[in-house]
Amino acid sequence: MTEKTKPVLCILGPTSSGKTALSIGLAERFQNVEIVSADSLAVYRYLDIGTAKPPLEVRQRIPHHLIDFLDPRERWSAYEFRREALRLFREISLRGCLPVVVGGTAFYLNTLFHGIPGWGAPQDRNLRRVLERIPTEKLYALLVSVDPHRARKIGKKDRKRLIRALEIFLLTLRMPSEKRTPSQRPWTSQYLLVGISWSKEKLRERIRERVEEMFRQGIVEEVQRLFERGYRPPIPALENFTYRPVVDFLEGRCSLATAKEEIVRGTLTFVKRQMNWFRKMPITWFSPEDGNLLKLAEEVYHFVRVHLEGG
């Protein structure tokens, strides 16, 4: 392959599908892998349990990028993810290693693969401070007034995405829902997409087990420690379906059982959105035999080797 088309392996799949385990298994087999995270929550420092980051020991042994670097008060956009990911792909390839993207934030991945509109914009901290003072219902009304199509797609409660859409509009004076410019390239041979697939019933079971494990590991105490560091809501790191119910529990707005159920419900809704995105992508899907991710890693390893050697 030429310098411009060096391969990038992408391990995709819904939340709780086993992407991290598969990526580690592949890294151990290839031995020249660096992992680029495409997870919108794993970027935050101090939050490890709810984000399911790979253990520190693994990250010290296998290089990981775009994990554990951002202050919980800061925001991270698809625009910034794509810019940093493309830079990392070049650097990793120059080191003679295989870049492996791992993640389930499908909007980030779609932006990576297809590019972004010519009017994509970096974050503007001063504008963000103004928008973050506005109540969520008012943000929604403002977006409806300038881009009703985008507002309907985001919904009335997704504060993070409402702010981002308004930010793009105010910085570019273009509607976020406008179509991409014709210059944006479609799929290229640079990306090899591998996905992990489970039955709906098994995935629900894995999600419930993961939520219970989060609480056993101490997600409540993790958020308490964040509060003790001076981080209080509303902050971007806690504005999501995983951490918001924990905050509600700590602030007395719900029971522990309700918090768990809210995380499960939010995760299942998120998985539906993920799969809607993934269905549009040319993914080669693999289903773990009897739930055995070690066997899956071996199967995917041979598939990827054939592709790379044949490419």
Q: For the chain, how many structural domains are there in total?
A: 2
Is the pLDDT at 181 greater than 60? The verdict is no
List the one residue out of 23, 207, 48, 30 whose CA is nearest residue 103.
23
Q: Is the domain of 55 the same as that of 148?
A: no
Q: Per the domain annotation, does 112 fall within a domain?
A: yes
User: pTM score > 0.75 for this model?
Assistant: yes
For residues 87 and 203, state if they share a domain.
yes
Q: Is residue 182 part of a domain?
A: no
Residue 3 falls within a domain, yes or no? no
Q: Does 177 map to a domain?
A: no
Query: Residue 225 falls within a domain, yes or no?
Result: yes
User: Which are the contacts of 297, defined by CB distance < 8 A and separation ≥ 6?
Assistant: 21, 22, 25, 26, 29
Q: Is 160 among the domain residues?
A: yes
Task: Report the binding-site residues for substrate.
Answer: 15-20
Q: Which residues fall in the annotated binding site? A: 13-20
What domain range includes position 152? 125-172
Contact (Cβ atoms closer than 8 angstroms) between residue 281 and residue 12: yes
* Residue 175 vs residue 149, higher pLDDT: 149
**14 & 135 share domain:** no
Of 119-133, 147-161, 239-253, 255-269, give the lowest mean pLDDT range: 119-133
Let me know whether 100 and 197 are in one domain: yes
List the binding residues for ATP: 13-20
Same domain, 12 and 142: no
140-163 per-position pLDDT tens digit: 988 888 888 888 889 888 888 888
Q: Taking residues 85-98, what's their average pLDDT?
A: 94
Within a domain: residue 50? yes
Binned at pLDDT 50, 70 and 90, residue 116 comes out as low
Stated as kind and residue range, the H or E segment containing 7 is none
Whether 285 is in a domain gets the answer yes
> CA-based Rg of the chain, rounded to a whole angstrom?
20
**More confident: 187 or 110:** 110
Q: Are residues 225 and 269 in the same domain?
A: yes
Same domain, yes or no: 18 and 103: yes
Is residue 82 domain-shared with residue 213, that is, in the same domain? yes
**Nearest residue to 61 via CA among 88, 107, 38, 28:** 28
Whose structure tokens read 């050697």? 309
